């Protein structure tokens, strides 16, 4: 297998983009780094700057105020970079669908590679999602 692709899937640095979330998904994401789940075993790290990112973890309802910011942050990330939508809000706007300040779901704005549903999704669900994404990347592309 391609060495570069293998290294990419074995060391995913995640930028946590919280776009007006209610904090519930964010707490579950931080659970992944705690001793019970510890995704650093697979080389997954949370990093501070989007320039270091391999994956963009988007949570929350994307509203009219955050659409330009989300686009800007995706443009700042070095490619190849995958986008992961976490939680029902990022997937389908959930119960805010008819709200006045919400226009379109995340996958109309960015090319989303992985959807993790749930309100909030369990850490197990996120790990299962990451495994599916990694197998998809290794087979395809």
Partner 1 sequence: MNLLLSYLIFPGFLFSAVAGLLSCWVDRKVSARVQWRKGPPWHQNFTDIIKLLGKETIVPEGAKATFLLAPCLGLLSLVLVATILGRSIILPAGGFSGDLIVVLYLLIIPAISLIIGASASRNPLASVGASREMKLVLAYELPFILAVIAVIIKSGGVIQLGQILNHQSNFGSNIASWSGALAFIIAILCMQAKLGFVPFDAAEADQEIMGGVLIEYSGLPLAIFKLTKAILLYTMPLLLIILFMGRDLSAQLIIPKFIGLLVIVILIKNTNPRLRIDQSVRFFWRIPTLLGIIAIGLAISGL
- Taking CA atoms, 87 is separated from 25, 41, 43, 51, 79, in Å, by 6, 24, 23, 24, 24
Structure tokens at 76: 């700042």
How near is the Cβ of 10 to partner 1 at its closest, in Å?
Answer: 5
Which parts of this chain interact with partner 1 (CB under 8 A)? Answer: 3-4, 7-8, 10-11, 34-35, 38, 40-43, 47-49, 51-52, 54, 76, 78-80
- Residue 47 or 95: which CB sits closer to partner 1? 47
Residue that has been written with the tokens 């501070």 in this structure: 48
Q: How far is the CB of 13 from partner 1 (least distance, A)?
A: 8
Closer of 9 and 66 to partner 1 (Cβ): 9
C-alpha distances (whole Å) from 63 to each of 6, 45, 109, 125 are 36, 27, 11, 25
Nearer to partner 1, 55 or 58 (CB): 55
Q: Give whichever of 2 and 139 is closer to partner 1, judged by the CB atom.
A: 2
Shortest spacing between CB 119 and partner 1, in angstroms:
27
Rounded least distance, CB 132 to partner 1, Å: 20
Which residues, at least 6 apart from 80, have a Cβ–Cβ distance to it below 8 Å? 8, 54
């Amino acid at each position: 297998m391609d060495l570069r692709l293998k290294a990419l899937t074995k060391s995913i640095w995640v930028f946590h983009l919280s776009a007006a979330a209610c904090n519930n998904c964010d707490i579950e994401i931080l659970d992944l780094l705690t001793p019970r789940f510890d995704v650093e075993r697979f080389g997954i790290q949370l990093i501070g700057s989007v320039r270091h990112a391999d994956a963009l973890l988007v949570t929350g309802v994307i509203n009219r105020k955050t659409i330009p910011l989300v686009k800007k942050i995706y443009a700042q990330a070095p490619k190849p970079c995958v986008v992961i939508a976490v939680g029902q809000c990022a997937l389908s706007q959930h119960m805010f669908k008819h709200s006045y300040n919400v226009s379109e779901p995340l996958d109309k704005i960015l090319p989303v590679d992985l959807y993790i549903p749930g309100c909030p999704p369990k850490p197990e669900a996120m790990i299962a999602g990451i495994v599916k994404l990694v197998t998809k990347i290794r087979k395809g592309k």
